[in-house]
A and B are shown apart, each in its own frame.
Chain A
């Protein structure tokens, strides 16, 4: 297996992660670690993926570049940059997805998120190796526009979670703030 590190930098908007993780999934890549952040209007995300030794990273780079460039997104391997705009128009929720690690988890969930026009403002994935079997936890901080019916959104997430053998929770961000902030 080989590891590839790349970052994507450019204007923020819904669907970036879904596009990238879709391409990775199609090529059998495993998303090992990802972080995303937004500074002012700039989106940046760093991905560490593993791919089979026989995989072609140049082909992967070209496909990603062709998909991302029309959106004004810049992709670079092994380097770090700075990111872009959040739409902060709705309410802040946190989606947590917990389950055994396997390819396609992030792709599957972000597809649902993108389809509902929900924007991811922060994304973290961690593996809890102390659990048997190890648990893969993905935390999406999202901004849900007021126009979205979040019960329907939740139902769509849960339907996808069942397909992916995940336990998914959608919770308003305030609950986490209240518990930990004095």
Chain B
């Protein structure tokens, strides 16, 4: 028997708190599409993806309607292109990206992720070709997302790859200069990349994954914020222990929604269900913000001293609630702090309360990293590599996923606005101190060894 309280609370989450399923992502392995001929490879890829994902969008919409929970994005993740197209040149890799974009457009999906390489320990020929192809691929396509894993706790940090990615980011921004360097919004550099992330730009289908699989990304920062606000209104003396319990319970509910929708879509498509990624993913909309949660927890703004502790508590409570709600949790699973994609965080960066240094500190306790951070267009490739290296070190040492999605906005300086449109949002360009001071370190290259796994102090 349902109680009216339960029904009304669910209704409120939908009507007023932006509860939705942020993404249903269909993973498709492309290993059986390999060919030494670009045309044949593309044809094989088109046939396989179209066969498996032909009904993805309609099915998500139907299931969303039936349960009253909108599925905001429908995406595809594929095997890392650097591996499945390893024999191709950079130019051929670009052709593959353009074909993937067309396939995605035909299926009306939002993004296709997996223009990716895993190079934490070194490069194959395919990896080098893919990284070389990234700027052109991302400037010629709208839906294709690219990720490069340059570090892992078990392998250390491939500093040659870090140097290459600094240049790739810079070049990608320049090739999409007319749109504030938007190509970089679809490019992310990772440490410890999970194989089953449904969120972009890091989604790809790992080598240990099934031939085809549905992974789901839930959201719900608005639901968490409202739950905290309601609880504090009712009992103003609630302490952080009690508030973390409320966050945990809320994450449970949100995760349940995601798992149900994902399983129903998977059933209808006849595809196995993989994982729920129980991340709090914001959008540039008031009431759908991770930044607002910090204010609900008593901070004037994200970025104020106390923010790292608040984020650590939030991230942990979200994981605990989500893990209890679903037996298959994966992906990034935590709180995202993408600057431009969260209106409140973007405002904190614009006001100067949230700095690059504080952002970096916060990434040591959250689930992603330096995400959607607009930086001055004049920032050197070596400085970008330095920022990446620092972020990778946080992930490698703490045995967690971290990432850098940095956008050097061409022709713009710190304090100016950059606009990426839609869910990618807009942001004030954040100041990067001591530009030029990292070049000597980055030029050393090589691989920073894997860290020791004991003596953790």
Contact = CB atoms under 8 A, between A and B. Distances in A.
Contacts of A180: 2, 6, 10, 253
B6 A176 contact: yes
B4 interface: yes
B256 A178 contact: yes
A169 B11 contact: yes
A141 B11 contact: no
A172 B67 contact: yes
Nearest to B15: A167
Contacts of A177: 2
Nearest to A150: B66
B253 A179 contact: yes
A153 B21 CA distance: 24
B4 A176 contact: no
Interface in B68-106: 68-69
Contact of B7 (A96, A128, A151, A154): A96
Interface residues on B, range: 20 to 34
Contacts of B69: 171, 175
Contacts of A113: none
Contacts of B1: 122
Interface in B1-51: 1-2, 4, 6-8, 10-11, 14-15
B410 to A, nearest CB: 45
Contacts of A137: 4, 8, 11
B7 A172 contact: no
Residue in A126, A128, A137, A180 with the greatest tally of chain B CB atoms within 10 Å: A180
A140 B14 CA distance: 18
A162 B8 CA distance: 20
Contacts of B7: 94, 96, 139, 176
A175 B68 contact: yes
A126 B2 contact: no
Nearest to A96: B11
A171 B10 CA distance: 11
B10 A176 contact: yes
Interface string B235-274: 0000000000000000001001101100000000000000
Which secondary structure characterizes the binding site on chain B?
A: helix
Nearest to A169: B68
A98 B11 contact: yes
A142 to B, nearest CB: 12
B65 interface: yes
A157 interface: no
A151 B63 CA distance: 11
A151 B69 CA distance: 15
Nearest to A135: B8
B246 to A, nearest CB: 15
Residue in B10, B65, B259, B260 with the greatest tally of chain A CB atoms within 10 Å: B10
A146 to B, nearest CB: 13
Contacts of A46: none
Contact of A175 (B8, B15, B260): B260
B243 to A, nearest CB: 20
A13 B6 CA distance: 27
Contacts of B253: 179-180
A94 B66 CA distance: 11
Nearest to A93: B66
Contacts of B68: 169-172, 175
A174 interface: yes
A175 B253 CA distance: 10
Residue in A122, A151, A176 with the greatest tally of chain B CB atoms within 10 Å: A176
Nearest to A125: B4
B4 A169 contact: no
Contact of A172 (B6, B8, B66): B66
A124 interface: yes
Contacts of A160: none
A177 B2 CA distance: 7
A176 B14 contact: no
Interface string A96-135: 1010000000000000000000000010101010000000
Given A151-B65, A170-B68, A126 B8 contact: yes
Contacts of A126: 4, 8
A171 B15 contact: no
B263 to A, nearest CB: 10
B16 to A, nearest CB: 11
Residue in B6, B7, B15, B65 with the greatest tally of chain A CB atoms within 10 Å: B7
Interface of B: 1-2, 4, 6-8, 10-11, 14-15, 65-69, 253, 256-257, 259-260
19 contacts: A96-B7, A96-B8, A122-B1, A137-B8, A137-B11, A139-B8, A169-B11, A169-B68, A170-B68, A171-B66, A171-B69, A172-B66, A173-B2, A174-B67, A176-B10, A177-B2, A179-B6, A179-B257, A180-B253
Which 8 residue pairs spanning A and B have beta carbons closest together? Answer: A171-B68, A175-B67, A178-B256, A179-B253, A180-B6, A178-B260, A124-B4, A172-B67
Interface of A: 94, 96, 98, 122, 124, 126, 128, 137, 139, 141, 150-151, 154, 167, 169-180
Given A122-B1, A171-B69, A177-B2, 9 more contacts: A94-B7, A122-B2, A124-B4, A126-B4, A169-B14, A172-B66, A175-B68, A175-B257, A175-B260
